[in-house]
Amino acid sequence: MSISTVEKEAKIVLRIMDREYTVKCSEETFTTLVKSAHYLDCKIHDVMAHKTMAADRVTIVAALSAVHELSLKLQQKEACIDDMCQRLLQLSSKLATALGQ
């Protein structure tokens, strides 16, 4: 992986499915992008290990799997936030009652 930084912008070379892709990104997103590329590459290799199909189909299946996982995590996060909001409202109500308001 090579990095050239110009005015808070990085140019990185990511290796996915044994191919190199050069991508520009901000310094702030550099680490996340590298981790994401590694995760996608692992997903692709996992799909390839269990299924025999063309490379483009493997890529689509791996990407779909990763996006599905992300979607589930976002739904869980939203449910957790909703639950915390409900608990805070309940605590606020109890506090107001205890203080006689």
The DSSP H or E segment spanning 13 is: strand 9-16
What pLDDT is recorded for position 6?
A: 46
- Cross-strand bridge partners of residue 24: 11
The answer to pTM > 0.85 is: no
Q: How many domains does the chain have?
A: 1
Beta strands across the sheet bearing 9-16: 3-6, 9-16, 19-26
What is the domain-level CATH number for residue 29? 3.30.160.880
99 within some domain: no
Q: CA angle 79-68-80, nearest 5°? A: 10
101 within some domain: no
Q: Which residues of the chain have pLDDT under 70?
A: 1-7, 101
Please, which residues have CB within 8 angstroms of residue 66's CB and are 6 or more apart in sequence? 39, 40, 43
The DSSP H or E segment spanning 96 is: helix 55-98
What pLDDT is recorded for position 7?
A: 52
